[in-house]
Amino acid sequence: MPTALITGASRGVGAQIARALAPTHDLLLGGRGSAELDTLAMELDGAATFPVDLTDHDSLEAATEAVTSLDVLVHSAGVASSLESVADTPADEWRYLLEVNLIAAAELTRLLLPALRAAGGHVVFLNSGAGMRVNPGWTPYAASKFGLRALADGLRLEEPSLRVTSVFPGRIDTDMQRDIVAIEGADYDPSKFLKPETVAAAVAHAISTPSDAHPTDVVLRPTGR
């Protein structure tokens, strides 16, 4: 079977993407070493863990050395903003968001390009609606996601042997979303958000698209039902 590496696989959307791809791919489950990651690997019999901090570039380089051929790379890892205005966002917050949401994805992609080229692979970036528009209080986060969109678009042009897909979901029912809604001071209603399984299904569908087509951008918006 083809091999897929999924970052942020320990929970949320990343874990659901792993479950969606398990029947058709050998899996490398990326994430910081944790009981959650190990439990998912046991659930998905045959899956292997890829326990590395994506912002530790030396460890990341060492972890990727053994990967010589890779069919699918899904970038699902990411962090949310503290929802502050530009006037109130310190430089450290900008650095943190850009390091995790953009630079880590760029570096992992760079390190795995030889393996992806060898397989004629597919790179999927889980972006956000914030990668297409900016709302008040979300500027630093949106900047990281606009950058991720540029990374995907540039990679697609520079690596014609690869397929590169950006997925732009609206807000998703996850633990991270609960934290955001709490910061916003609103009541949490999961029906207002996309299900993680729905986003995972869209990612799996893009990956399974026959090779005569290149799914470049997938946009998902919650219907509220």
Q: What is the pLDDT of residues 171-210, one digit of tens each?
A: 888 777 777 777 777 888 878 889 999 999 999 999 999 9
Min mean pLDDT across 12-21, 48-57, 80-89, 186-195 is at 186-195
Q: What pLDDT is recorded for position 169?
A: 97
Options 141, 146, 168, 193, the catalytic residue: 141
| 141 is an active site residue | yes
% of the chain beyond a pLDDT of 90: 84
Q: What pLDDT is recorded for position 181?
A: 76
The reported pTM is 0.95
Give tens-digit pLDDT for 31-65.
Answer: 988 899 999 999 998 899 999 999 999 999 999 99
Contacts of 28 (CB under 8 A, 6+ apart): 3, 4, 5, 6, 47, 48, 49, 50, 67
The structure tokens 């609206």 sit at 170
The greatest distance separating any two alpha carbons of the chain, rounded to the nearest whole angstrom, comes to 50
Per-residue confidence at 224, pLDDT binned at 50, 70, 90?
confident
C-alpha distances out from residue 28 to 1, 195, 214, Å: 13, 23, 24
Give tens-digit pLDDT for 126-160.
Answer: 999 999 999 999 999 999 999 999 999 999 999 99
The structure tokens 């209603």 sit at 189
- All domains of the chain, ordered by start, with CATH? 3-213 (3.40.50.720)
Q: What pLDDT is recorded for position 180?
A: 79
